[in-house]
């Protein structure tokens, strides 16, 4: 979805997007819209309603609660009014802010989703972008595990809508409470928990010695638990809930998942391609305390959510033939127009434009040559644009020739019966 990587620099003005930012040419934009449409469609099947926050927020909204990598890579600056602001790195703090103020206007639980662009500033590396689009789905006001099951289920069904099966991706589910219970059993003081969780989060991506050093005296029992997998009734109940929906094959319990963000409190999960080739496709979990923390305890609502980005998802779509063919077919069809109007005689241009206007008013997608053009080139354009029929205005006037572009079949239709004949050919 990235446009040509090294366009020529033809003068002193910038001829490329900023590093890490994408231009979406029509084909890229069609792919992006296809992804957005699947996201929206499945979220709505689950009764989620769409909302959106602003792309710029006060920096402190993230500094205090997000923690970890997100704050290190904040795309922040001081605005002309001396405000510390940041291009949003994630949606959850905005959601917590909006819900804390507006929650009385809505019945609980809220099931909200959002599709928007997010930003980070990090050292430039090949294939690492500074912006991406994300779907966020959140459920607010329900502490029961049923909400966690519903959330994992919608994340699975969204990926199924792209043509992926249980052979293509897996949801790794875990529970922060599993580890906080573990720390409590091991008599670890609470102030060490956050650092330990971060060390466990990174353990799969770091050398064992480095993790061991961070874990200290807990290294042996933590490694043993990661190896044996741990036992959790709550996680097994989550799997059973998905089994009732026929979705159990899409999940595995993996207590090694704890997520980088500081605000998670319970169930957490990440979605990976089965082949382990890409970074996480999606991730999320419970953040039962965030709304209360942001509102100084004024509003307390349990909450959970996940985000799925367009970049890794796009890579996986390219990797899996079923998904790749589905997006190719859909975007090719989406590009097609209904009717190309061939103006074979310039004297007929005004007549043609009158009909074009009426056909467009009925919702048909129509193109035509803006200026005098050879008829053969016009039919070529009709084909290039994927027109289903061509309408030729020429010598036959006041009859119009209609050509079915798929079959090549041609007919003459009188203008007094024009609209119904065109519509029946298109049907």
Window 250 to 309, contacts with a copy of itself (CB under 8 A): 294-296, 298-299
- Contact between 337 and a copy of itself by CB under 8 A: the answer reads yes
Q: And the tokens for 2? A: 């990235």
Q: Report the nearest approach of a copy of itself to the CB of residue 113 (Å).
A: 10
* Phi and psi torsions of 176, nearest 5°: -65, -30
SS (H, E, C) 256-274: CCCCCCCCCCCEEEEEEEC
- Contact between 165 and a copy of itself by CB under 8 A: the answer reads no
Q: How far apart are CA 187 and CA 294, in angstroms?
A: 30
- Indicate which single residue of 247, 251, 317, 400 sits in contact with a copy of itself (rule: CB under 8 A): 247
Touching a copy of itself, residues 34-53 (CB under 8 A): 41-42, 44-47, 49-53
- Indicate which single residue of 237, 300, 318, 357 sits in contact with a copy of itself (rule: CB under 8 A): 357
Nearer to a copy of itself, 83 or 329 (CB): 83
If we measure between CA atoms, which residue out of 161, 80, 66 comes closest to residue 118? 66
Touching a copy of itself, residues 360-389 (CB under 8 A): 360-361, 363-367, 370-371, 381, 384-385
Nearer to a copy of itself, 21 or 229 (CB): 21
Q: Report the nearest approach of a copy of itself to the CB of residue 407 (Å).
A: 23
**Binding segment (CB under 8 A) for a copy of itself, from list 20-28, 231-239, 249-257, 277-285:** 20-28
- Contact between 332 and a copy of itself by CB under 8 A: the answer reads no
Q: Report the nearest approach of a copy of itself to the CB of residue 324 (Å).
A: 21
Nearer to a copy of itself, 49 or 412 (CB): 49
Touching a copy of itself, residues 92-121 (CB under 8 A): 94, 97-98, 100-102, 105, 107, 109, 111-112, 117, 119, 121
- Indicate which single residue of 8, 82, 217, 416 sits in contact with a copy of itself (rule: CB under 8 A): 8
According to DSSP, the β-strands at 75-78 and 84-87 are antiparallel
Q: How far apart are CA 345 and CA 363, in angstroms?
A: 26
Q: Report the nearest approach of a copy of itself to the CB of residue 143 (Å).
A: 9
**Binding segment (CB under 8 A) for a copy of itself, from list 77-85, 183-191, 205-213, 271-279:** 77-85
- Indicate which single residue of 2, 37, 85, 419 sits in contact with a copy of itself (rule: CB under 8 A): 85
Long-range CB contact pairs, 198-205, < 8 A, 24+: 198/68, 198/258, 198/260, 200/226, 200/256, 200/258, 201/257, 201/258, 201/259, 201/260, 203/256, 204/256
CA-based angle 144:146:149, to the nearest 5? 130
Nearer to a copy of itself, 229 or 297 (CB): 297
- Residue that is written with structure tokens 């720390």 in the block: 183
* Phi and psi torsions of 90, nearest 5°: -160, 165
Nearer to a copy of itself, 200 or 311 (CB): 311
Give helix 193-202 / helix 208-215 axis angle, nearest 10°.
170
Q: Report the nearest approach of a copy of itself to the CB of residue 93 (Å).
A: 9
CA-based angle 202:204:206, to the nearest 5? 65
Q: What is the DSSP string of 137-178?
A: EEEES--SHHHHHHHHHHHHHHHHTTT--TTTEEEEEEEHHH
């Amino acid at each position: 979805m990235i446009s040509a990587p090294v366009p020529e620099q033809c003068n002193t003005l910038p001829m490329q997007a900023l590093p890490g930012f994408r231009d979406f040419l029509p084909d890229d934009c069609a792919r992006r819209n296809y992804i957005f449409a699947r996201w929206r469609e499945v979220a709505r099947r689950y009764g989620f309603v769409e909302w959106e926050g602003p792309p710029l927020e006060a920096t402190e909204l993230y500094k205090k609660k997000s923690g970890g990598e997100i704050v290190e890579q904040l795309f922040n600056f001081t605005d002309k009014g001396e405000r510390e602001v940041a291009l949003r790195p994630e949606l959850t703090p905005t959601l917590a802010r909006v819900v804390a103020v507006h929650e009385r206007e809505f019945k609980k639980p809220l099931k909200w989703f959002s599709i928007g662009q997010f930003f980070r500033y990090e050292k430039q590396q090949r294939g690492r972008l500074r912006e991406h689009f994300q779907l966020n789905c959140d459920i607010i006001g329900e502490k029961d595990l049923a909400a966690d099951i519903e959330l994992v289920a919608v994340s699975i069904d969204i990926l199924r809508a792209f043509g992926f099966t249980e052979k293509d991706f897996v949801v790794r589910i875990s529970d922060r409470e599993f580890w906080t219970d573990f720390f409590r059993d091991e008599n670890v003081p609470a102030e060490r928990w956050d650092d330990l969780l971060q060390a466990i989060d990174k353990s799969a991506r770091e050398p064992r010695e480095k993790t061991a050093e961070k874990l200290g005296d807990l290294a042996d029992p933590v490694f043993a638990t990661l190896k044996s997998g741990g036992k959790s009734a709550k996680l097994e109940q989550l799997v059973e809930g998905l089994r009732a929906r026929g979705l159990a094959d899409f999940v595995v319990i993996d207590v090694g998942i704890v997520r980088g963000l500081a605000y998670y409190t319970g169930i957490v999960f990440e979605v990976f391609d089965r082949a382990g080739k890409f970074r996480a496709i999606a991730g999320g979990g419970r953040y039962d305390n965030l709304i209360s923390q942001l509102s100084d305890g004024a509003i307390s609502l349990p909450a959970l959510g996940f985000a799925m980005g367009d970049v890794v998802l796009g890579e996986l779509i390219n990797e899996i033939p079923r998904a790749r063919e589905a997006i190719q077919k859909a975007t090719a069809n989406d590009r097609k127009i209904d009717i190309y109007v061939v103006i074979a005689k310039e004297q007929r241009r005004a007549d043609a434009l009158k009909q074009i206007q009426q056909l467009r008013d009925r919702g048909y997608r129509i193109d035509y040559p803006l200026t005098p053009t050879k008829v053969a080139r016009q039919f070529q354009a009709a084909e290039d644009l994927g027109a289903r029929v061509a309408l030729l205005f020429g010598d036959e006037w006041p009859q119009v020739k209609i050509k079915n572009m798929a079959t090549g079949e041609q007919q003459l239709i009188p203008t007094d019966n024009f609209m119904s004949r065109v519509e029946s050919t298109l049907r």
